[in-house]
Amino acid sequence: MNSTWTLDMVINRALNMEEQSYKLYTGAIEKVEAPEAKAFLKELADWELEHKAKLLAIKDDPQKMKEFSLHMPKVQDLKLVNYLEDVPLTDPSDYEYQKLLIYAGKREQETYEYYDDLAKKFGDSDVGKFFARLAAEELTHKNKIEKEYDQYVLEWG
Ligand SMILES: [Fe+2]
Ligand SMILES: [Fe+2]
pLDDT tens for each residue of 12-62: 999 999 999 999 999 999 999 999 999 999 999 999 999 999 999 999 999
pLDDT tier, 72 (very low <50, low <70, confident <90, very high otherwise): confident
Task: Compute, in angstroms, the gap from residue 122 CA to the centroid of ligand 1.
Answer: 19
Task: Compute, in angstroms, the gap from residue 71 CA to the centroid of ligand 2.
Answer: 17
pLDDT tier, 90 (very low <50, low <70, confident <90, very high otherwise): confident
Q: How far apart are CA 65 and CA 88, in angstroms?
A: 35
Task: Compute, in angstroms, the gap from residue 137 CA to the centroid of ligand 2.
Answer: 7
pLDDT tier, 6 (very low <50, low <70, confident <90, very high otherwise): confident
Task: Compute, in angstroms, the gap from residue 77 CA to the centroid of ligand 1.
Answer: 16
pLDDT tier, 68 (very low <50, low <70, confident <90, very high otherwise): confident
Rounded to an integer, the average pLDDT of 88-93 is 82
Q: Which ligand is nearest to the CA of 41?
A: 2
- pLDDT, tens digit, for every residue of 121-130? 999 999 999 9
CA atoms within 13 A on the CB side of 74: 0
Give the pLDDT confidence score for residue 157 in this predicted structure.
57
Task: Compute, in angstroms, the gap from residue 107 CA to the centroid of ligand 2.
Answer: 8
Average pLDDT of every residue of the chain: 91
Give the pLDDT confidence score for residue 41 in this predicted structure.
97
Say if residue 5's pLDDT is above 70. Answer: no
- CATH superfamily entry for domain 4-156: Ferritin, core subunit, four-helix bundle (1.20.1260.10)
- The residues whose Cβ lies within 5 A of ligand 2, an ion, are 108, 138, 141
Q: Are 27 and 89 in contact (CB under 8 A)?
A: no
Q: Are 3 and 124 in contact (CB under 8 A)?
A: no
Cβ burial of 130 (10 Å; 0-12, 13-18, 19+) is buried
Give the pLDDT confidence score for residue 156 in this predicted structure.
61
Task: Compute, in angstroms, the gap from residue 2 CA to the centroid of ligand 1.
Answer: 22
